[in-house]
Amino acid sequence: MTRQTADIVVLGLGAMGSATLFQLASRGADVLGIDQFYPPHEFGSSHGETRVTRLAVAEGTALAPLVKRSHEVWKELEGRTGESLFGQVGFLAVSSEPWQPGAADYVARTRAVAERSGVRHELINAVEARRRYPWLNVAEGDRVYFEPEGGYLHPERCVATQLRRATEAGARLALGTRVEAILPRGEHVEIRSDKGTIQAGRVVVSAGAWAGRLLGPHVSALLRPTREILHWYDLEPSAPAEWGRAPVYIWSYGHGAEEGFYGFPAKDGTVKLAHGEKTRAVDPDDFDRSSEEAESRAFYARSIDGRLKGLRVDASRRKTCLYTVSPDGGFVIDDWPESERVLIVSPCSGHGFKHSAAIGEAVSQRLLDGASRIDLSSFKLSRFGDRQRRIGASR
């Protein structure tokens, strides 16, 4: 068993953790990164070849500055490393949601954020959308929004590149190390793991689905890990050639958790599709990571059939993925109630990767400068009021 020390420990090296470690190390901080696996890996939330990114995030205007800065960071990293991290192919939002009194559809919410944030975009009628994107089977009355600065990120490459740059700048890594407890000790924090003990001045907990296990019932009550499935479908021989030049897209056709999907351009003759179900809560240490062909067939029948053209439902593959969802679907970036030396940077709630580069930078500024340039106050625990205490007490 070993004993180490570090000024700052980053616990969990997925999207948020790798970005934070890179930013801290780039500024000369004495920083140690810990992960129970060997990132990039397929056991958490930061895998699956591609992730959607767009500037006008329908979840709210507080997120737009984070995506904008993240795009800048990814492009800066590409320039420094020669890695391909960001495919800026554009973003489509499609809405065919049934009208509800007082409710704005997905395109309307996205457009409102774009207009408030100064994001370039256009609305496209159904005829023009079918001409531009012959693989897209929109109907009259569907609303279509296009944003040229959207696209996709390569999550595994992003994580690996940031970890490599972090170690080049002096960061240390403790991989294959499972943390068992975080213990405040006055002027420092003690971290107990299966490999030994670490003494840290500050700790960033970016452990995703495993954060709740470490942070106690009042925080874990707010963090719900869920099982999600990513699907890849082969293209039919007669599929439109434009599939290879497609933007990324999100199609909302209802108001329920399963009434929508997102997808990507064709790559190597297959198209990746998924939906953020966020309904199947799991234990991240004990759930079925396998998936069945029947799940891809059911998803296709429910969401894809009649909306996208040229895909083979009989030729598919799948991977499982974890989301960690808060009660309002937002991030938690705040001091741990038990110690101001511990900063929580979780959960992503299924839409975090596009913001992660800027969050890593903002967290490094908060730790090293006392405040971040981008306002993170929307992500404080206090917005939940006493909800976490009530949930924790009921368990």
* pLDDT for the residue numbered 395: 42
pLDDT tens profile 81-112 = 999 999 999 999 999 988 777 778 999 999 99
Spatial separation of the C-alpha atoms in residues 33 and 163, rounded to whole Å: 9
- What is the rounded CA–CA span in Å between residue 150 and residue 369? 31
Parallel, antiparallel, or unpaired for β 151-153 and 31-35? unpaired
Query: Which residues have C-beta within 8 Å of that of residue 9, sequence separation ≥ 6?
Result: 31, 32, 33, 34, 189, 191, 198, 200, 202, 203, 204
Q: Output b/e per residue, 8-23; b: 16+ Cβ within 10 A.
A: bbbbbbbbbbbbbbbb
Mean pLDDT of 132-147: 97
* Token digits of residue 194: 């299966």
Q: How far apart (Å, rounded) are the C-alpha atoms in residues 173 and 262?
A: 34
Distance CA 368, CA 271 (A): 42
The C-alpha atoms of residue 71 and residue 73 are separated, in whole angstroms, by 5
Q: Is the pLDDT of residue 360 over 80?
A: yes
pLDDT tens readout for residues 244-290: 999 999 999 988 767 999 999 999 999 999 998 888 899 999 999 99
Distance CA 186, CA 35 (A): 25
Residues 6+ apart with CB under 8 A from 393: none
DSSP assignment of 196-261: EEEEEEEEEE--GGGHHHHH-HHHHTT-EEEEEEEEEEEEPTTS-GGGGG--EEEEE-SSSTTSEE
The confidence score (pLDDT) of residue 376 equals 96
The per-residue pLDDT for 386 is 66
* R_g of the chain computed on alpha carbons: 21
Query: pLDDT by residue (tens digit) across 227-249?
Result: 999 999 999 999 999 999 999 99
Q: Given the DSSP bridges, would you call strands 31-35 and 172-175 parallel, antiparallel or unpaired?
A: parallel
User: Cα–chain-centroid distance for residue 241?
Assistant: 30
- 54-58, 367-371, 385-389: lowest mean pLDDT where? 385-389
Q: What is the pLDDT of residue 392?
A: 44
Give the Cα separation of 279 and 290 in Å (integer): 17
Residue 330 has pLDDT above 70, yes or no: yes
- Assign 264 to helix, strand or coil: coil
Predicted confidence at residue 104, as pLDDT, reads 84
Domains, the chain, ordered by start: 2-47+155-223+328-394 (3.50.50.60), 91-148+224-325 (3.30.9.10)
Helix (H, G, I), strand (E, B) or coil at 43: coil
Q: What are phi and psi of 38, to 5 degrees?
A: -125, 85
Residues 6+ positions from 57 with CB-CB distance below 8 Å: 63, 64, 67, 110, 113, 351, 354
DSSP 349-394: TT--GGGHHHHHHHHHHHHHHSS-SS--GGG-GGGGTTHHHHHHHH
The mean of the pLDDT values for the chain is 94
Please report which confidence band the pLDDT of residue 387 belongs to, taking 50, 70 and 90 as the band edges.
low
Phi, psi of 33 (to 5 degrees): -105, 135
- For 63, phi and psi rounded to 5 degrees? -85, -25
| Alpha-carbon distances of 148 from 54, 55, 152, 232, 258, rounded to whole Å | 9, 10, 12, 25, 27
Residue 193 pairs in a beta bridge with: 179, 196
User: What is the percent of the chain where pLDDT is above 90?
Assistant: 88
Summarize the confidence of residues 117-124 as an average pLDDT.
Answer: 97
Q: What pLDDT score was predicted for residue 119?
A: 97
- Look at residues 51, 60, 53, 52 and name the one whose alpha carbon lies nearest to residue 110: 60
Average pLDDT for 68-91 = 98
36-50, 140-154, 266-280: segment of lowest average pLDDT: 266-280
For 328, list phi and psi in degrees, rounded to 5.
-105, 10
pLDDT reported for residue 390? 47
